[in-house]
Amino acid sequence: MEAEIELKLFFPEKAREALVSLLDSLPHSEPKGSKHLSNSYFDTPELQLRHWDMGLRIRGCDGCFEQTIKTAGSVVGGVHSRPEYNIDIDQVKVNLSLFPEKIWPIGANIEQVEQQLQSLFDTDFIRMKWHVYLQDSLVEVALDIGKISANGLSEPICELEFELLAGDTQALLILAEGVAKQIPTRLGRASKAERGYRLAAMASPLQLEALEFIQLGQVNDLKQAFVTLLSTGLERWQLLEAMLLESRDSVEQLPLLSYRLRACVRLIRCSLSQFELLDSELNHEFDCIERHLEYVEPGLSLAEILDNDAALLASLPQAQQISVAANQGLAELNMPNAIDAMLADTCYGHLQLKLVNLLFECKAGKINVDIGMGLQHFADKMQEASWQRITQLMPSKADLNSEDYQSFAQALDESIFVGVAYGELYDAKARDQFRAPWRDLVLGIRTLAAYRCINLLSHQLGIDMQEWLDNKEHSLLFAMEHSRRSALKAHPYW
């Protein structure tokens, strides 16, 4: 058995030559040639192996064959660790009895499983390899270019894998971070097998559960809390990125997915700031991603207009014209191109890798985040600082208009993120009652922005909707102001 410890990056195919040149030029780098690898992945029609969290393939190379099974492993911040068993065979036929009996679930009928196995998808790619020595560590770098095929469909493989052969896991991250500074890359969440199952339509659609609160209930100290916050944020970031790419042709879904990705990135940034780990380079790269996501606000407003068959427009006679203009506005935002530009910017993947590096440095004790107080005291302090900022921005005696609320939107979002990070540490009833009106205000701000967007569209179309819009905005602002003043009187739950 071998236990792979590897880091996978995705990159654009046009960067291949630059990557090869870079890897050739690295200090203490030894090119190890290239090979053509063909792989068939097997499972039963009921996906029994996948249910056991196993992956089975036969790999062919230069007329030789090897069957491999990978068993359940772990992924921390994009670094994969998964046991695998490799057996040389003389033909493209699976023989499960060659694997150790101990890997199978108790009571599993392996002979029956083997009889039902069928090839579900194939991968075919050229692999170039380098061995790179970094201090006392040895890393194998593999560059794969090819395709995944299933049911007459295919998608490209452009992957860079860093596998630790000897030494410290951090060598993977140092090396990958150096590459990401020069080549557009991003963390590779999905394995070739996962992508193959999806291409073969034998995997559930990507889904992301709403993140009410990060699970800190079993955490004992600030180090564990930081690791949990950062690893949760990175995991969700990668999943949202995959969902964005999967939905790139569904323009109406992109604004909300992009908003959630931006919220995830902002939550990570907020956490780093709280633990005093936000340096100038990290700040610059967070700002870079924010600029790429500037389409989020107009996109959300246009999507809000179209939501639920333009329910926001009610039965207005001009509803159809506004809806057509909103759809055109979404198309003109060109969100798929904006997403591609973000992923092609080196700041994107480099930031991801710096965050993974921070995560591992903290786990290894190389970064000290213990600032002399317990987790509960720290959470109380963060909540109070966030609350004071909101009360200063939105004093109860001030009358806020639509522009005010728009200008405070990010600060309110960030305050809610603090509650997401630490809310599980508090009494649920008091916490939820306190947070409810503020969450309603966030939705109100989004609706106010949609009204402003309708106003702009109506002017472009030469439609007079001013009286209707003024009434709608006035009614909503009246409700929001009442809710805000009541919320400011509530006793904090921390």
Contacts for 370-377 with beta carbons within 8 Å, 24 or more apart? 370/221, 370/222, 370/223, 371/222, 371/275, 371/276, 373/222, 374/221, 374/222, 375/216, 375/219, 375/220, 375/221, 375/222, 375/225, 375/425, 376/425
- Closest by alpha carbon to 338, among 294, 394, 275? 294
Res. 338 pLDDT band, cuts 50 70 90? very high
For 86-125, write each residue's pLDDT tens digit.
999 998 899 999 999 999 999 899 999 999 999 999 999 9
Position 170 scores a pLDDT of 87
Res. 1 pLDDT band, cuts 50 70 90? low
- Whether residue 74 is predicted with pLDDT greater than 80 in this model: the reply is no
Largest Cα–Cα separation, the chain: 81
Q: Which amino acid is at 45?
A: P
Interatomic CA distance for residues 184 and 162, integer angstroms:
16
Position 144 scores a pLDDT of 96
Interatomic CA distance for residues 236 and 257, integer angstroms:
11
Domain ranges of the chain: 2-204, 224-489
- Whether residue 233 is predicted with pLDDT greater than 80 in this model: the reply is yes
Position 450 scores a pLDDT of 96
Q: What's 373's DSSP letter?
A: S
- Whether residue 373 is predicted with pLDDT greater than 90 in this model: the reply is no
Residue 23's Cβ-count burial label (10 Å; 0-12, 13-18, 19+) is: buried
Position 62 scores a pLDDT of 87
As a CATH number, domain 2-204 is 2.40.320.10
Position 191 scores a pLDDT of 85
- Whether residue 363 is predicted with pLDDT greater than 60 in this model: the reply is yes
- Helix, strand, coil share (%) of the chain residues, nearest 5: 55, 20, 25
- Give the DSSP H or E segment for 372: none
- Closest by alpha carbon to 150, among 85, 114, 203? 203
- Whether residue 75 is predicted with pLDDT greater than 70 in this model: the reply is no
Interatomic CA distance for residues 310 and 303, integer angstroms:
9
Whether 80 contacts 6, CB under 8 Å = yes
Interatomic CA distance for residues 346 and 281, integer angstroms:
13
What's the pTM value of the predicted model, to 2 decimals? 0.90
DSSP string for 246-257: HTTT-GGGHHHH
Interval 447-471 mean pLDDT: 94
Position 82 scores a pLDDT of 74
Interval 256-267 mean pLDDT: 95
User: How many separate helices (H) and strands (E) can be counted in the chain?
Assistant: 16, 10
Token pair belonging to 40: 């068939």
Position 285 scores a pLDDT of 97
Beta bridge partners, 219, equal none
What residue has token string 């030789």? 64
Res. 77 pLDDT band, cuts 50 70 90? low
Interatomic CA distance for residues 375 and 225, integer angstroms:
8
Interval 253-264 mean pLDDT: 95
pLDDT over 70 for what percent of the chain?
A: 97
Lowest mean pLDDT among 189-193, 270-274, 386-390, 464-468: 189-193
What residue has token string 């046991």? 83
Position 221 scores a pLDDT of 86
Res. 343 pLDDT band, cuts 50 70 90? very high
Lowest mean pLDDT among 79-88, 156-165, 456-465: 79-88
pLDDT over 90 for what percent of the chain?
A: 79
Position 368 scores a pLDDT of 86
For 164-174, write each residue's pLDDT tens digit.
999 988 899 99
Q: At what angle do helices 170-180 and 346-363 cross, to 10 degrees?
A: 160
Position 80 scores a pLDDT of 66
Residues in contact with 407: Cβ distance below 8 Å, sequence separation at least 6, in sequence order = none
For 195-221, write each residue's pLDDT tens digit.
999 888 887 777 777 778 998 877 778
Res. 3 pLDDT band, cuts 50 70 90? low
- Closest by alpha carbon to 282, among 196, 226, 352? 352
- Average pLDDT of the chain is 92
- Closest by alpha carbon to 457, among 340, 335, 304, 349? 304
Interatomic CA distance for residues 274 and 226, integer angstroms:
10
13-27, 69-83, 203-217: which is most confident: 13-27
